[in-house]
Homo-oligomer: A and B are copies of this chain.
Amino acid sequence: MNERQRARRPGGRSARVAAEVHQAVTDLIGERGYGNFTVGDVAARAGVADSSIYRRWGSLATLLTDVALTRLNARSPMPDTGSLAGDLRTYAANVAREITGPDGLAVVRLAVALSNNGQQDLQARDDLRDERTRQLQSMLDRARERGEHAPDALDVLDHILAPMYIRVLFGMGPLTPDYVDGLVDRLL
């Protein structure tokens, strides 16, 4: 395949391989749990060479966070409703729905697994956090540009996201719409 063909099928084979590798990771997390599989296991399951995974992702930790970020961005995208209250309510409701669903604690599990280990794992965890924080910051910046008074991203983390995650982690659900909206209203 030459460059022109590659350009005509943007991400064709590449996107297919990524999807297969992501699915293999998701399956292995479900079957064995974090820490109980290697890049070699992922490669075998996805039907690709180990070297393809290392070339593209660099490490298992980076691959794991890529899978988690892809899932987060698909299921809890940052909304743009035109008002800060609308954005935060929609965002909080998306997160609440996601984390009370099947394997809703995926991000917490991943963060726990990566916190256990070495510098490369911690860096991957920090990159995941920073990417989501950047997205949240963009949402808050848009509000400020509209002249709204917006909280800091860390306040959103502390007083909207953290309570929901901890309640699910300790089995204190369900996260009712009243509860979730109440977290947003309290912060605003």
Contacts and interface: CB of A to CB of B under 8 A. Distances in A.
Contact of A125 (B161, B167, B171): B171
A158 B167 contact: yes
Contact of A33 (B116, B163, B172, B183): B116
Given A166-B161, A167-B158, A129 B33 contact: no
A169 B108 contact: yes
A159 B112 CA distance: 21
Given A158-B163, A163-B159, A115 B33 contact: no
A122 interface: yes
Contacts of A169: 108, 111-112, 115
Contacts of A162: 158, 162-163, 165-167
Nearest to A166: B162
Interface in A142-164: 154, 157-159, 161-163
A11 interface: no
A3 to B, nearest CB: 40
| Residue in A157, A163, A172 whose Cβ sees the most chain B Cβ within 10 Å | A163
Interface of A: 33, 35, 105, 108-109, 111-112, 115-116, 122, 125-126, 129, 154, 157-159, 161-163, 165-167, 169-172, 183
Given A157-B167, A162-B163, 16 more contacts: A33-B116, A105-B112, A108-B112, A111-B170, A112-B112, A129-B171, A129-B172, A157-B163, A158-B166, A158-B167, A159-B163, A162-B162, A162-B165, A162-B167, A165-B166, A166-B166
